[in-house]
Amino acid sequence: MADGGRTLDTFPKFLLRNAQSFADRPAMRHKDYGIWQSWTWAELLVEIRNYSLGLQQLGLKRGDKVAVVGDNRPALYWTFCAVQALGGVPIPVYADSVADEMVYVLQHAEVRFAVAQDQEQVDKLLSIKEQLPQLEHVIYDESRGLRDYEHTNLHSIAHLQEQGAAQMPGAEKAWLAEIDKGAGGDLSVMLYTSGTTGKPKGVMLSFDNLVISSINANRFDSFDETDEIIAYLPLAWVGDHIFSYGQSMTAGYCVCCPESPETVTENRREIAPTYFFAPPRVFEGLLTDMMVRMEDAGPLKQKMFHFFLGVANRVGERILNKESGGSAMDRLLYRIGDVLVYGPLKNRLGMSRMKVGYTAGEAIGPEIFRFYRSLGLNLKQLYGQTEASVYVTAQPDGEISADTVGTPSPDVEIEIADNGEVLYRSPGVFMGYYKNEEATRDTKSEDGWVKTGDAGFIDTDGHLRIIDRAKDVGKLNNGSMFPPKYIENKLKFFPNIKEAVAIGHGRDYCAVMLNIDLSPVANWAERNNIAYGSYQELANHPKVYEMMAQHVDQVNQDLASEERVAGAQVHRFLVLHKELDADDGELTRTMKVRRSLINERYEPLIEALYDGSTEKFVETEVTFEDGRKGKISATVKIEDAKVYATEAMKEAAE
Amino acid sequence: MTAHDITLHAPDDGIAEGAELLRVDDVTLRFGGVTAIEDVSFNINKGEIRAIIGPNGAGKTSMLNVINGFYHPQEGTITFRGEKRRAMKTYEAAASGIARTFQNVALFTGMSTLDNIMSGRSLKMNKSFLAQMIYFGPARDEEIEHRRKVEEIIDFLEIAHIRRQPVGKLPYGLQKRVELGRALALEPDLLLLDEPMAGMNLEEKEDMSRFIIEVNETFGTTIALIEHDMGVVMDLADRVVVLDYGKKIADGAPAEVQANQAVIDAYLGVPH
């Protein structure tokens, strides 16, 4: 692609194009003081250019690394482009990481500059500054509370922009020349994977990786400058970088930043994005909230709601997939339901204009997936990785199923290795891990094939199915297969269960530790007059155990019906006395379970699951958000679950 | 001015930072035979955070009620910005720049956070009731201007997510925050806080302390607060006055007061 003699191969070049081609179209919105403020592409160029010139004056040079810490705020997205225009490399960091976690990334990446959202993040950076000799300047967006700080090496973005503006128009030519020096093969961004094991690794992505992947994705779902998205996922996550930055820059669509992380749902309703991405837990959360609220609605509304959901369940997906079938009566009722129930519901969810919604990252419950699709929402699944610039496979319109992740995305090749591991090769494949040749070699072959670490297979329709992490699939002592995540996901599909950890590799049977999901369980407790004083007390309540036992029983019945995994039925379970928490390192920042660490921390409980005891006293260390540590102790009950004979065994017995 | 600048600040009353803003002289307040406050004198300087502490029943809340004109003392005088006054209506106190929050949250529970805080601006609205009802021309401009201030407060107190929720359904800690917001809507010169942290957990207390310090520093508002949490008082206050059985028993910097034997006795009790 070329534009005014410029090859469009870096994001700053796309910015220049957008400022011309879509000059008066909205590029960004941000809710501030209760009002949606917006910038057109032409205005965005000015903001970014002035910021960039300010950074240049501060000494930012080609190749410099710039950490970006904070929530989804416009100025932080500008930072990406302002830095890239000068040939620097932005490194977004998870905003909720505690100072110690941040030290490693900032040291490893050798950042010279750090851009922080607010006082909280600035304080965090200043507290670790001594361990970061390379860090020279800290730059912030929100000035609140920072007035009295020593400002020698601390600058506000607004101030840098003023300084940049003062250099205009004289500096413009040199700035454009600096942009033209950038090429597609250059390092564009470094994203540290939170990694379920070991230290985070810096994934280096080039402009080519991101630009080509973004353009392909835009074409796949036909996005253009008229689309809108709400940016609410962590900046440091590759998905947000592609959806809210890469695809916006290349397609020219508008990115909306919420007022605060707490107002995302409300802001989404106001904006009604046309493109929406969320991990399954967000869809689960929305559904749970909705169901909880419906419990409080009047009887007429409840009746109507459930009646029309039934109709949607029968014909909704067929209508969406443009398939025939379903009675004419149901089809007529569906139209009525669209006016009375589905429409208002979609409006409430902020999905009334949604063209495409994606879910990825974890398996989504089939019921949840079907629920959204039956309302007429085009929710699809994709499978991606940081190392692939997101896209590996995605479901094309009309070929949707809850248990596949789709066909290879444009330009992506897929192979299944002999051990069942999924391999891919694409233009989006990363350059390598920063300063980690060994890990790069382990993951990426000479000819560009990347190991996903996931076990899967391609079904008869050419769709990829993922079973589990390749290294996590284990064996019980009796030789039967033990896929922990498969079992955990089945458990987590119950709204009352927030997290589950299955144990069984190298043991006699499978056992699970559960986390209740506080909001539905608390609501249930309230309706059933169950009194409790704390999370711990509720989790340990006999009635809650009864409920959990039913869920486990249901999962066992499911497992028994599937021959390959029938041996992995849950024999014993317990409900944990505390929520698994990323601050304690039990979950990754993207909320995935860290097995090895959990095995270590809860060793006494795991032993108790296998030694036949019915309760166990434990003491667990917890970390508060500010880094202080404390201890909580509890007596955790352990219960047996009923195990079912498989179909094959039943037949043998007869 | 960029879009996000804060326009809220205490009115410029011509009193220099650190000079006397309010003085209480020999105030005595009786309810029938009960003497709630007896011959108390102290002052509050412009720009400081002044704490009033003391055991239960010491007369702290009565003192605040005297300052904002809710109670009228039988003896003594109050001097605000150099003007001596004795009996004053509460709305006159409010109009002169004294705002307060209450020990037991006193909000309009059926109204939203936004409307509650907006109600704090009502004293500043000049257009007639009728003009406001028609919502046209100057009345509309005025409403927009006030709304902007209210939004600044919402942003400042980080309560954007509850903007439209009826306050009666909010948790206590948030209600306290909304109440502070309503007091701030007056853009007060002197802010009286009656146990702003009562019944809060540690995190909520830390948040509230941060807000109090920021109100003081950013808006330049003088603050008088009653508080039981000594840790908070020692951290926040510039000067502390201690009451016991309606009498002043100490007055000074937090460290001095903490070491004062009379104060220790009042809190721990002495054999009689």
Mean per-residue pLDDT, A38-66: 96
For the record, the structure tokens of A45 come out as 């160029």
Share of chain B above pLDDT 70, in %: 97
**Would you call B153 an interface residue with chain A, using a CB distance cutoff of 8 Å?**
no
Strand order in the sheet with B83-85: B34-45, B20-31, B75-80, B83-85
Of A32, A145, A259, the CB nearest to B3: A32
Please write the tens of the pLDDT for every residue from A470-518: 877 888 888 787 888 888 888 988 889 999 999 998 899 999 999 999 8
State whether B194 and B264 are in the same domain.
yes
Fold of A2-274: Rossmann fold (3.40.50)
Residue listed under structure tokens 């993040």: A121
Bigger pLDDT: A255 vs A622: A255
Pair (B153, B129) in one structural domain: yes
pLDDT of residue B1: 36
Query: What is the pLDDT, as a whole number, of residue A2?
Result: 46
Which has the minimum average pLDDT: A343-352, A609-618, A623-632, B57-66?
Answer: A623-632
Q: Is residue B38 part of a domain?
A: yes
Q: Determine whether the interchain pair A147/B217 forms a contact, defined as Cβ–Cβ distance below 8 Å.
A: yes
Q: Are residues B64 and B148 in the same domain?
A: no
Beta strand A65-69 with B34-45 is: unpaired
**In chain B, which residues have their Cβ closer than 8 Å to the Cβ of A266?**
161, 164
Neighbours of B254 (CB within 10 A): 18
Query: Which of A33, A37, A145 faces B155 most closely, judged by CB atoms?
Result: A33
On the question of pLDDT at B92 being above 90, the answer is: no
Q: How far does B130 lie from chain A, in Å, by closest CA?
A: 27
Which comes out higher in pLDDT, residue A49 or B257? A49
Structure tokens at A556: 């066992």
Give the domain CATH number at B254: 3.40.50.300
Residue B107 lies in a domain: no
B151 inside 8 A of chain A by CB: yes
Assess contact for A484 and A504: CB atoms under 8 A: yes
Q: How many CB atoms lie within 10 A of CB A562?
A: 12
Average confidence (pLDDT) over A219-244: 95
Task: Classify residue B104: in a domain, yes or no.
Answer: no
Confidence (pLDDT) at B271: 72
The residue segments making up the domain with residue B145 are: 112-186
Same domain for B86 and B3: yes
Partner residue facing A260 (CB), from B3, B161, B218: B161
Residue B102 domain-assigned? Answer: no
B69 and B123 in a single domain? The answer is no
Torsion-angle region of B187 (φ positive above 0: left; ψ -120 to 50: alpha; else: beta): left
Assess contact for A246 and A10: CB atoms under 8 A. Answer: no
A570: three-class secondary structure by DSSP = strand
Q: How many CB atoms lie within 10 A of CB A236?
A: 26
B93 and B10 within one domain: yes
Closest CA to A358 of A306, A294, A406: A406
How many CB atoms are closer than 10 A to CB B195? Answer: 19
The DSSP output letter for B44 is E
A150 touches chain B (CB under 8 A): no
Test B160 with A262 for CB contact under 8 angstroms.
Answer: yes
Cα gap A467→A449, rounded to integer Å? 20
CA nearest to B216 within chain A: A145
Specify the range with the lowest mean pLDDT, choosing from A135-144, A178-187, A229-238, B195-204: B195-204
Rounded Cα–Cα distance for residues A88 and A51 (Å): 13
Q: CB of A507 within 8 A of CB of A610? A: yes
Contact B3/A263, CB-based, under 8 Å?
no
Q: CB under 8 Å to A168, separation ≥6 — which residues?
A: A49, A50, A53
Report the C-alpha gap between A227 and A249 in whole angstroms: 12
pLDDT in tens, A567-618: 889 999 999 998 888 888 888 877 778 888 888 889 999 999 999 888 888 8
Given this model, what pLDDT does residue A467 score? 75
Q: What's the pLDDT tens digit per position in B5-17?
A: 777 777 777 788 8
On whether both B166 and B192 belong to a single domain, the answer is no
Residue of B nearest to A35 (CA): B151
Interface of A with B in 115-144 (CB under 8 A): 142, 144
Count of domains forming chain B: 2
In-domain check, residue B105: no
Contact call for B151 and A34, based on CB within 8 A: yes
Residue that is last in its domain, among B157, B186, B215: B186
Cβ pair A34:B156 closer than 8 A:
no
- Please give the residue of chain B at the shortest CA–CA distance from A119: B210
What's the confidence (pLDDT) of residue A284? 85
B51 and B10 housed in the same domain: yes
User: Any chain B CB within 8 A of the CB of A33?
Assistant: yes
Average pLDDT estimate for A46-63:
96
How many Cβ atoms sit within 10 Å of the Cβ of residue B114? 22
Residue A391 clears pLDDT 60, i.e. is over it: yes
Residue spans per domain, chain A: 2-274, 278-357, 378-469, 474-653
Q: Is A477 on the interface with B (CB under 8 A)?
A: no
- Give backbone dihedrals phi and psi of A335, rounded to 5 degrees, phi first: -65, -40
Nearest to A567 by CA among A471, A482, A472: A482
Query: Would the CA dihedral through A469, A472, A476, A477 be positive or negative?
Result: positive
Pairwise CB contact (< 8 Å): B214 & A33: no
DSSP letters spanning A286-317: HHHHHHHHHHTS-HHHHHHHHHHHHHIIIIIH
Q: Can you point out the beta strands (E) in chain B?
A: 20-31, 34-45, 49-53, 75-80, 83-85, 98-101, 190-194, 222-226, 239-244, 247-252
**CA–CA min distance B155, chain A (Å):** 6
Q: Choose the closest CB to A34 out of B156, B163, B214.
A: B163
Average pLDDT in the B77-100 region?
85
Chain centroid offset of residue A193 CA: 12
Q: How much is the pLDDT for A649?
A: 60
Residues of A in contact with B218 (CB under 8 A): 144, 147
User: Distance of CA A5 to CAs A1, A8, A13, A86, A180, Å?
Assistant: 10, 9, 11, 20, 10
3-class DSSP state of A132: coil
Residues A6-35: tens digit of each pLDDT: 889 999 999 999 999 999 999 999 999 989
Domain closes at, from B144, B168, B186: B186
> Looking at the domain A474-653, which fold is it?
GMP Synthetase; Chain A, domain 3 (3.30.300)
User: For all residues of chain A together, what is the average pLDDT?
Assistant: 90
Residues B198 and B256 in one domain: yes
- What's the whole-number mean pLDDT along residues B96-108? 89
Q: Would you call A33 and B148 a contact, using CB atoms and an 8 Å cutoff?
A: yes
Between β-strands A570-575 and A629-640, what pairing exists: parallel, antiparallel or unpaired?
A: antiparallel
pLDDT confidence of B2, banded at 50, 70, 90?
very low
Which member of B3, B154, B161 has the closest CB to residue A262?
A: B161
On whether residue B106 sits in a domain, the answer given is no
Judge whether residue A220 has pLDDT over 60.
yes
pLDDT at A244: 96
Q: Does B210 touch chain A (CB under 8 A)?
A: yes
Write down which residue in B125, B151, B186 finishes a domain: B186
Q: Do B160 and A263 touch (CB under 8 A)?
A: yes
Residue B93's pLDDT is 86
pLDDT at B168: 92
- Is A378-469 a domain of CATH 2.30.38.10? yes
Which of B6, B9, B161, B212 to mutate against chain A (most A CBs within 10 Å)?
B161
Examine the domain organization and report whether B73 and B27 are in the same domain.
yes
pLDDT, tens digit, 9 for 90 and up, residues A171-217: 999 999 999 999 999 999 999 986 656 788 999 999 999 999 999 99
Same domain, B12 and B120: no
- Three-class DSSP category at A14: helix
Residues of A in contact with B210 (CB under 8 A): 145
Residue of B nearest to A626 (CA): B203
The interface residues of chain A toward chain B in range 265-304, judged by CB-CB distance below 8 A, are 266
A72 falls in which pLDDT band (50, 70, 90)?
very high
Asked if residue B235 and residue B207 are part of one domain, the reply reads: yes
Tell me what pLDDT residue A651 has.
Answer: 58
Q: What is the 3-state secondary structure (H, E, C) of A419-486?
A: CCEEEEECCCCCCEECCCHHHHHHHECCCCCEEEEEEEEECCCCCEEEEEECCCCEECCCCCEECHHH
Nearest partner of A607 among A638, A578, A580, judged by Cα: A638
Q: Do B158 and A260 touch (CB under 8 A)?
A: yes
Measure A145 CA to nearest chain B CA, in Å: 7
| Residue A1 confidence (pLDDT) above 50 | no
Contacts of B4 in chain A (CB under 8 A): 32-33, 142
Note whether B160 contacts A260, CB cutoff 8 Å.
Answer: yes
Q: Report yes or no on B121 lying in a domain.
A: yes
